Chains A and B, each alone.
Chain A
Amino acid sequence: MKKKFDVTKHQLVPKHLKVSEKEKAELLKRYNITVKELPKILVDDSAIEHLEVKVDDVVKIIRQSPTAGEVLFYRCVTNG
């Protein structure tokens, strides 16, 4: 009867992707910031469990925004 449900398939959960080191450097340069200045996401957040990220990685989130269509959002992984 019990089954493991897939968090990423839920309609409230947008797509989460791991950002490569190169892309991360580009992002930080474009906004002239350090990693610590990005919004955070916890390491044990259920939506990024399958990504196998570690602290200080950057996660790219593709949000579906009703005002702008597809929006990219970045969060830095932290251990809270």
Chain B
Amino acid sequence: MDDIIQEYEEKLPQRLIDLAVEKLGKTSQKKLREALDRVVEEYDASCIDPGESVGLVSAESIGEPGTQMTLNTFHFAGVAEMNVTMGLPRIIEILDGRKELSTPMMEIYLKKPFNQGKNIKENALLIKETLFGDLVQEFQINIAESAIEVTLDLKKMEALGMSKAKLMNLLSKGIKGVNLKEHKEKNMLILKPRGKVEELNDLYRLKEKMKGVYLSGIKGIELVLPVKQGDEFVIRTKGTNLKDVLELDFVDETRTSTNDVFEIADVLGIEAARQSIINEVLNVMEAQGLNVDLRHIMLVADTMCVTGQIRGITRYGVVSEKASVLARASFETPIKHIINASLTGEVDNLNSVVENVMLNQPVPIGTGLPQLRVKAKKESK
């Protein structure tokens, strides 16, 4: 039995063999062979023929449902406060390979027992980036003494486990050239710049600078939101920093992910990025109730990742690598391409489709692909 299956492993994908064997159940060798032969026949018939223009078919198959996608919807993911870019803008963002996303997001899975809600608030706060401005109730500028008085929010400090001494230490590291003092009675910090203060504006500038001093948490995570997903708790965040989050010890480092494809390529490698592009595109399509065959999306993701780095489907990405000048010129900014090509004396060998369409010649796809080559014999005298 097993050697028959092995025999067919060359001809069929693993999954089809598994399915066929599972569906058949117990049968004789003869029947198994017959069944698998029929599967091979069907499989060969449904394979894409050499020369088929798969890219064109993919473009149509993704493009057509794209016309039905909502144009600029922001859809709420679970609880309010957090917007997620969906629909066409998101698809364009992924396929163009944009580095700056409009809504960077992470989904952080937790290890047991934290995924059952243990310490969820504390853990969420550990992830969120806290700046000095977040812990301040009030800023006051004392003009007479040219100092800044800061009233602290004790409740928030307690939730973070931040003591006054620690806070002052971090603050003095963040801002140089000031004297930092604690007010004796009130819950206040007093900052006085060293040296003379020439302008009031300098004080204001100092105040703004103070607000941005980093205290704790993971840089880049602006908002955290613990949500229950199925039977476990997940932390959703606004802003991403995959590398640092994966290093936390209560985070499940096998499932935690971000929607920033470039970050994934950086941290987890190009293959993970490819899978992530597929997942992201598929997510958008499904959320809109559209049905695109997975293979089309896979083809696009593969094209974007062939060089080992992510390149978008733009004139700076995939298209810029085309060998033919005419093909590049036919996409975007034709004059720039043609001028550059003529300056460097580029040669176009007319090997691909677009340039042959331009010149009114048969294109090398489908039946146009095979060519005749004559084996010429030397004329004998």
Contacts and interface: CB of A to CB of B under 8 A. Distances in A.
Contacts of B248: 1
Contacts of A14: 271, 275
Interface in A33-67: 39-42, 45-48, 61, 63, 65-67
Contacts of A1: 248-249
Contacts of A78: 308
Interface string A10-46: 1111101000000000000000000000011110011
Contact of A13 (B272, B306, B307): B272
A69 to B, nearest CB: 3
A70 B363 CA distance: 35
A60 B179 CA distance: 60
A67 B309 CA distance: 25
A11 B255 contact: yes
A10 B270 contact: no
**Residue of B18, B257, B268, B271 contacting most chain A CB atoms (<10 Å):** B271
A75 B275 contact: no
B294 A69 contact: no
Interface string B244-275: 00111100011101000000101111111001
A14 B268 CA distance: 10
B14 interface: yes
Looking at chain B's contact residues, is the secondary structure mostly helix, strand, loop, or mixed? helix
B15 interface: yes
A78 B248 CA distance: 32
B276 interface: yes
B185 to A, nearest CB: 36
B269 A48 contact: yes
A67 B272 contact: no
Given A9-B253, A63-B271, A69 B308 contact: no
Interface string B269-286: 111100110000000000
Contacts of B276: 12
B47 to A, nearest CB: 11
A48 B269 CA distance: 8
A75 B308 contact: yes
Contacts of A39: 302, 305-308
Contacts of A9: 253-254
B377 interface: no
A2 B294 contact: no
B334 interface: no
A39 B270 CA distance: 11
Contact of B247 (A3, A11, A66): A3
Given A5-B247, A70-B14, A47 B253 contact: no
B367 to A, nearest CB: 22
Nearest to B279: A12
Interface of B: 13-16, 18, 246-249, 253-255, 257, 264, 266-272, 275-276, 294-295, 298, 302, 305-309
12 contacts: A5-B246, A10-B272, A11-B255, A39-B306, A40-B306, A40-B307, A41-B269, A41-B270, A63-B271, A66-B294, A68-B13, A78-B308
